Chains A and B, each alone.
Chain A
């Protein structure tokens, strides 16, 4: 009887402790990837099966767990476009159209394998709960489930380096477990200010056989912004932050 009670107590204590570890680990991965508020530049490259490329350059700003905005700097056809995400809300501002229009996370403003939620990525812990963490060799494998139906991918599997606590690979899956895309995190680089993270993300998708998209990061640095930067009114003026 005593053994049964002891086992019960151990289980009751162990389950929440495990869940807490997973969540803490995910939060640690988030902070290792980016400071809570920061600015950065990114280059997006869509590569076709024959090697032809199309490139986009973006300036992005992020604050807290649910605010991020990005401005297209290149090419000329996209220059001045900006995207804003406030939690589950996303907008696209096109200078010619002259007003922000609502977009959805599954659309893609750049074409290719990256969609809007990849470009306007919030903290993983803000959108996902950790269901399970496996350990194998030098890696963790985190099984994540979206907190709400409004998240672009229902499930994620994150492989993370145990020492660096940085992702090496992320699989994005539907609710039924169908693979939508895989992100490969490469080339860990010191950006200064204590930010050491992968500078190169490559993605492919079984939905786009032979195609891949690449995101290269530069000039990531901590920076605070006023909340009003993340509003529709400010979207045409994001360039003034540079």
Chain B
């Protein structure tokens, strides 16, 4: 049985109070008024300024036997439960004049945890758009592209940062580049054709985390709406990453059923892995990743999102076992001798390699969301699971979202992280997590 610390109990009480206060807000704040349309709401200004502020306390219940717990906390006594308080501020604005528009979006994350305080601020996007006609536009600056049709994963999103399948709709930071869009509409089976070329430079100063430095990369996407099916053909070449090709599609089969798929072919992909003794190996091959998925809405307003993802760049089950074994051995060495060299090396290997999101080969994603059950408007419960098909470990995350109050979004989400020894989710530092997200748009 888990015993909650005093701090945990206090936090849970605060979370419950906040949630309850929002759900049962006094009705007189929303007193009935005549239904009118104030036309001042339709007036357009050349500028826009808005934003989003969020508070997200999280409680973790640690798995002290897990390899990644040992790796993270081997030299600290952090206890069985951990609290983390996250705050986010995003500001966005735009100014439009004739065919020109400037847009920016900032992001500031502030985290208070057992490790102290951490604050990071950056521009997620800041770019200038020239739009001489509805058929043509050019963007220069930092922006996101979000290519691909997958909901949880996007193997063909070659010029975007990887999204988190636990929170796939969250905004991401873009890259600096120059892009154009040309679009043409037709009558007949081919309704739309669009082409999007993108130039992304990587130097010591800009786009450092895109790939190898001192290259000018060229990416492109060709889009067709053909026989009521969205089809994209994608490529990236230039040196910062190996050349890769992708394709995706999406189609509504009926009024309540959508299917989609995504494919990526990555040439000369290099993978580094270790054996249990820590000896490092590198192999190089042409990797194939793909995803097939569907979205289905029942007559009772239940939405099912289901995806299968094969990650051709991922690790095999035995390779991940060796990695966890290496951490366990390193931890024993640390306990016996105080030498943490192996753990330090494991931490380096984790960064961007074993530690990337979903680092293995085959996954299933299932999300079941019920719209407004029991006739409660704006109340949307959902449950999401991500299953690793290689080792059968998984996460299961029930959540409730409540958006009754205009511009205020409340989400209470729990996660159960489970798996046997030497599995991806079994070796995560936590067994359970509970988070409350209170977000306000302005």
Chain A residues in the interface with B (C-beta under 8 A): 41, 43, 45-48, 50-55, 57, 59, 73-77, 79, 86-90, 94, 96-99, 101-108, 111-112, 117, 149-152, 200, 208-211, 214, 216, 218-219, 225-234, 237, 239-240, 242
Contacts and interface: CB of A to CB of B under 8 A. Distances in A.
A216 B185 contact: no
B39 A219 contact: yes
A111 B181 contact: no
A102 B260 contact: yes
User: In this complex, which of B134, B255, B371, B441 has the most chain A Cβ atoms within 10 angstroms of its Cβ?
Assistant: B255
15 contacts: A51-B30, A77-B403, A89-B225, A96-B171, A97-B169, A98-B144, A98-B171, A102-B250, A105-B255, A107-B297, A200-B35, A226-B134, A227-B185, A233-B192, A237-B134
Contacts of B113: none
User: In this complex, which of A53, A75, A96, A237 has the most chain B Cβ atoms within 10 angstroms of its Cβ?
Assistant: A96
Given A54-B378, A76-B50, 12 more contacts: A46-B377, A59-B42, A75-B407, A86-B225, A87-B228, A98-B145, A98-B146, A149-B254, A214-B35, A216-B36, A228-B185, A231-B194
A206 to B, nearest CB: 11
Contacts of B96: 239-240
Given A45-B35, A46-B377, A86-B191, A232 B223 contact: yes
Interface of B: 27, 30-33, 35-37, 39, 41-42, 44, 50, 96, 101, 129, 131, 133-135, 137, 144-149, 151, 169-172, 181, 183-185, 191-192, 194, 196, 223, 225, 228, 230, 250-252, 254-258, 260, 295, 297, 303, 371-372, 375, 377-378, 403-404, 406-409, 441-442
Nearest to B39: A218
A76 B50 CA distance: 8
Nearest to B174: A98
A232 B37 contact: no
Contact of B194 (A46, A79, A219, A233): A233
B37 A209 contact: no
A59 B254 CA distance: 27
Contacts of A101: 149, 151, 250
A232 B194 contact: yes
A191 to B, nearest CB: 12
A237 B181 CA distance: 12
Contacts of A75: 406-407, 441
Contacts of B41: 41, 43, 57, 73-74
B255 A55 contact: no
User: In this complex, which of A208, A228, A233, A240 has the most chain B Cβ atoms within 10 angstroms of its Cβ?
Assistant: A233
A90 to B, nearest CB: 7
A102 B27 CA distance: 36
User: In this complex, which of A101, A218, A226 has the most chain B Cβ atoms within 10 angstroms of its Cβ?
Assistant: A101
Given A53-B30, A231-B185, A234-B183, A97 B378 contact: no
